[in-house]
Amino acid sequence: MSYWSVALEDGIAVATYSNPPMNYMIGPAVLELIDLVQDWQRDDVRVVILTGGIAGKFITHYSVEELIDLARIPADEMKAINRGYQDFVLGFRRLAKPVIVALNGDTMGGGFEIALGADIRIAQAGDHRIGLPEVRLGILPGGTGTQALSRLVGLARAAEFILCGRVVAPERARELGLVHEVVPDALARAKEVARDLVSISPYALAEAKRALYQGFELPIVEGCKVESEAFCNTMVSASGLAQMRRYTALPFDARRDSIDSQ
């Protein structure tokens, strides 16, 4: 791979993106990541972490030079390419493994849309910018940004954020609900969270993720049907039954500590 390097240790795949000097996302790097997502279906991969390999940059944004080239092709072809990119970002939700992004620097435009496709977003403290500035370039977020952000923070807040082309510092991003945490070392914290997730039944995580994302797009009654199916699947699974039995075998005063999270 030219742009992504992957290290797998104890079930945690850490994928690091490097495209100096600015760490812009480009088409060949997207194709590499699509192949990686397919490869991560393997059973030995339990959690995925995406991070940046250039100091102060996660994925700065999508290459504007490449977007200008894209604008020169026929409209139908351009739309097909764009829809393919959207499907690529949504693919992180379909991946039956937790996906964590360690935002260790600037994360804007297409880079932030990739982050929005992940399950857990951990930002690194520092002079970094997070957001969707596309309208300031005369375009708009086209890689799921308008839809993902409005579902994450609500329509009114997303409208203000996108229409003003806002980019914010990590702590403000946390206050707005764009990221879950801001820490001194995003990758170290992501690995800590990943190690905890590895200790959880992969089937339970996969079904919980399916219930969350499939159900969220439906009216609540229909969403609850998805949840019920996923719940019953885990209830009769070998891992679910084994872990529930281990829990009930513990003394009452030991049960709370046995399910404490980090």
Catalytic residue among 113, 192, 217, 229: 113
Instruction: Give how far Cα 58 sits from Cα of 16, 51, 54, 107, 173, Å.
Output: 9, 6, 7, 6, 15
Q: Quick check: 161 and 176 in contact, CB under 8 A?
A: yes
The amino acid occupying position 47 is V
Residue 139 structure tokens:
């375009």
Q: Is 66 a catalytic residue?
A: no
Catalytic residue among 32, 66, 134, 227: 134
Which H or E run contains 33? helix 27-39
**Paired residues of 5 in beta bridges:** 16
Query: SS3 for 154?
Result: coil
Q: Is 207 a catalytic residue?
A: no
Helices 220-235/238-248 angle, 10° precision:
80
Q: Is 108 exposed, middle or buried (0-12, 13-18, 19+ CB in 10 A)?
A: buried
Residue 30 structure tokens:
């997207």
The amino acid occupying position 102 is A
Q: Is 8 exposed, middle or buried (0-12, 13-18, 19+ CB in 10 A)?
A: middle
Residue 143 structure tokens:
């890689």
d(CA 60, CA 160): 21
Helices 75-94/202-216 angle, 10° precision:
140
Catalytic residues: 113, 134
